[in-house]
Amino acid sequence: MGTEENGERAGSGTQEAGMPGPASSPAELERLQQVLAEAEERARSHREQYLRAVAELDNVRKRAQRDIEAANRYGLEKFAAELLPVRDSLELAVQSADQAQADARSLKQGQQATLQLLARALERLGVTPINPVGEAFDPDRHEAMMAQESATAKPGTVLQVVQTGYELNGRVIRPARVVVAKS
């Protein structure tokens, strides 16, 4: 009776959990083994997918980190390459300064050419000047140096630019210093 009692207890416990009791047919047992094998295969497949996803995420993180490091290291490369002709022009101006002492006009022309080289280099890099003469004063883009009475300009408009401001791709990197009209 002890074995039957144990069998009944074991059977009743497994039957409650949806498992077959000791009186299950071989066909039912085979079907359950097949279901178990399929579930184990799905679990294996899901684990492999999970491991691949984790590895891919790790690769993306490492790639992003390398890209950030490269951007920090080489981000100024384009800027430096654009400014090298300006440096070359200034070197030539210094070398020929002895000859140009007698000719102030050629010295001025050299300075203007160098300034144009610098302006083109900055423009190619996305740096544009802020020249707000006649525009309404904008504290996000302008810095008021003083206010001046004007009979011709509306109050709050820019009369004069004291120092040119600059934007980099639409973002102010230095506000224009201006004189603003007051009533």
pLDDT band of residue 83 (cuts 50, 70, 90) is: confident
DSSP per position, the chain: -HHHHHHHHHHHHHHHTT---TT--HHHHHHHHHHHHHHHHHHHHHHHHHHHHHHHHHHHHHHHHHHHHHHHHHTTHHHHHHHHHHHHHHHHHHHTHHHHTT-HHHHHHHHHHHHHHHHHHHHHTTEEEE--TTSBP-TTTEEEEEEEE-SSSPTTBEEEEEE-EEEETTEEEEPEEEEEEE-
Query: Helix 77-95 and helix 104-124: axis angle, to 10°?
Result: 180
Do the domain assignments include residue 130?
yes
Could you tell me the strand order of the sheet in which 176-182 lies? Answer: 142-149, 176-182, 158-163
Mean predicted confidence (pLDDT) in 156-169: 91
CA–CA distance, 157 with 146 (Å, rounded to integer) = 12
Per the prediction, the chain carries an average pLDDT of: 83
Average pLDDT over residues 6-29: 59
The rounded percent of the chain whose pLDDT value lies above 90 is 45
> Is 139 inside a domain boundary?
yes
Comparing CA positions, the residue from 175, 181, 176 lying closest to residue 153 is 181
For residue 164, tell me if it sits in a domain.
Answer: yes
Residue 177 in any domain: the answer is: yes
> Which of these, 180, 171, 183, lies nearest to 136 by C-alpha position?
180
183 pLDDT band (50/70/90 cuts)? confident
Considering the domain boundaries, does residue 138 fall inside one? yes
Residue 80 has phi, psi (to 5 degrees) of: -60, -40
Q: What is the CATH number of the domain that holds 182?
A: 2.30.22.10
Q: Give the Cβ contact number of residue 178 at 10 Å.
A: 27
Q: Is a pLDDT exceeding 80 seen at residue 27?
A: yes
> Would you say residue 7 has pLDDT above 50?
no
User: Which residue is associated with the tokens 């790790």?
Assistant: 58
d(CA 152, CA 171): 31
Does 36 map to a domain?
Answer: no
- Residue 138's domain comprises 126-183
* pLDDT tens, residue by residue, 173-182: 999 999 999 8
**Could you tell me which residues are beta bridge partners of residue 70?**
none
Domain count, the chain: 1
| pLDDT of res. 22 | 59
pLDDT tens digits along 99-142:
655 577 777 788 888 888 888 888 888 889 999 999 999 999 99
